[in-house]
């Protein structure tokens, strides 16, 4: 849940200053156990997404409030594998559609990356990914991420020269 209200500005709040109570992010998991410690997790909900440099899909920042996700449909099945103690491989494939033909794809600064009018297609793209996470110690986690962008008809028709791509990132997390 999230809410941002401003009442002390001369002339009252601007539209960017106000965000009434909003269901920002939520999800529910249904876990189906298999043999031993294996399980299948089905997850449904609403969450922020940010991929790589966030040029195609990013969180929605406004000048004063983080905006909740809107106008995009996303299906992301995935599988986690514990390879050995402390080493986990996560694989998933993200399928993304526009909810409305009036939707575009926006970047991190709310700049329009792919305009809505050039295509009647809804499918934004497929984004297979893999992450390898190693819990190297009590306070140290190392993660290697790989994502491929396979653009759908909406992007291909809207930006004809746009090529598929991929990125790799490494993350070091130190917890105190």
Instruction: State the DSSP code for 55.
Output: S
- Residue 55 scores a pLDDT above 60: no
If we measure between CA atoms, which residue out of 89, 99, 91, 98 comes closest to residue 158? 98
pLDDT 10s digits, 79-90? 889 999 999 999
Strand partners, 128: 93
Dmax (CA) of the chain: 63
Distance CA 161, CA 71 (A): 25
- Phi/psi zone of residue 125: left (φ > 0), alpha (ψ -120 to 50 degrees), beta? left
Three-class secondary structure of residue 54 per DSSP: coil
**Would you give the distance in Å from CA 74 to the centre of its chain?**
9
Residue range 30-42: average pLDDT? 80
Is pTM beyond 0.75? Reply is: no
Q: Where are the domains of the chain?
A: 2-174
Q: Which whole number is the average pLDDT over 152-172?
A: 90
- The residue-averaged pLDDT of 60-75 equals 63
């Amino acid at each position: 849940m999230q809410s941002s209200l401003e009442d002390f500005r001369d002339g009252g709040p601007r539209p960017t200053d106000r965000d009434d109570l909003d269901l920002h992010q939520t999800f529910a998991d249904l876990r189906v156990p298999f043999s031993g410690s294996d399980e299948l997790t089905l997850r449904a909900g609403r969450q922020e997404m940010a991929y790589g440099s966030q040029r195609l899909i990013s969180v929605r920042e406004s000048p004063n409030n983080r905006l909740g996700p809107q106008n995009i449909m996303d299906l992301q099945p995935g599988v986690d594998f514990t390879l050995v103690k402390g080493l986990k491989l996560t694989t998933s494939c993200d399928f993304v559609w526009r909810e409305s033909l009036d939707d575009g794809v926006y970047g991190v600064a709310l700049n329009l990356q792919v305009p809505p009018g050039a295509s009647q297609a809804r499918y934004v793209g497929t984004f297979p990914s893999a992450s390898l996470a190693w819990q190297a110690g009590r306070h140290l986690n190392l993660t290697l991420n790989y994502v491929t962008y396979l653009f759908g008809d909406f992007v291909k028709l809207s930006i004809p020269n746009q090529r598929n791509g991929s990125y790799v990132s490494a993350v070091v997390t130190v917890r105190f």
